[in-house]
Amino acid sequence: MILSLSEELLDNDYIVFDYANNKRFVLNSVDEEFVIDGSPFAVKSCNLFVEVTEDNLTTIHKCTNIIGLGDDYVRVFSNNPELDSLQVSVDNINEVFIELYE
């Protein structure tokens, strides 16, 4: 199953999608600015997780958030080759797809 991400799907910095009877895809968007030792820096990234529930026990699996990579639960990709090897963020989320493995 392929999920087309978009900024419009974000609800309070989250996208949550249930699939395959016992799995839930969760994307959490982080867009914050910090100051350390007087130097400002920004964190713009999305964290990807798959929750798997079996026998009333839920296990949370952190997934790759690098465009062009995959793991046991998801494949993150884009039709824009310039995004390969970048982290998923709010800046590029409209061009990113997630293949969810069932």
The pTM of this model reads 0.90
**9 is in which domain, residue-wise?**
2-100
Q: Which residue has the tokens 């989320």?
A: 93
Token output for 60: 């949370």
pLDDT at 88: 97
CA distance 11 to 53: 23
pLDDT in tens, 19-38: 999 999 999 999 899 999 99
Domain count of the chain? Answer: 1
Tell me the torsion sign for CA atoms 65, 12, 92, 99. Answer: positive
